Amino acid sequence: MNQLSRLESQSIFIIREAYRQFKKVAMLWSIGKDSMTLLWLSRKAFYGRIPFPIVHLDTGYQLRQIYRFRDEYAKKWNFNLIVAKNQEALDRGV
């Protein structure tokens, strides 16, 4: 087993253990490269079906393509997507 495979196996083990020990777990998804990797590993950890919600904190500053990408992958990979906004801050221009 090469180093990358070992790291992947360890990551999957940690994700499964976190889910086993914490019943109210969710994952933040910024749609960046790091959170995409974690999302991919979570799918692998649970054989394609992530058993906890995925939370996207919508700043309102993303490009339309990002929103399309987010919605497309939430549907394609069939996970529970929660989109949260701080509307009060957005209204104040923060």
Query: Averaged over 11-40, what is the pLDDT?
Result: 94
Query: Averaged over 6-15, what is the pLDDT?
Result: 96
Domain range summary for the chain, segments of one domain joined by +: 3-91
Per residue in 59-94, pLDDT (tens digit) is 877 788 999 999 999 999 999 999 998 888 778 877
pTM for the predicted model, two decimal places: 0.83
Half-sphere exposure of 36 (CA within 13 A, CB side): 7
Spell out the CATH class of 3-91.
alpha beta
- In contact, 71 and 59? CB cutoff 8 Å: no
What's the pLDDT at 68? 94
CA 34 to chain centre: 10
What's the pLDDT at 26? 94
Neighbours of 29 (CB within 10 A): 23
Q: Which two tokens stand for residue 86?
A: 């701080």
What's the pLDDT at 3? 95
Burial string for 39-78 (b: 16+ CB within 10 Å, else e) reads bebbbebbeeebebebbbebeeeeeeeeeeebeebbeebe
Per residue in 29-52, pLDDT (tens digit) is 999 999 999 999 999 999 999 999
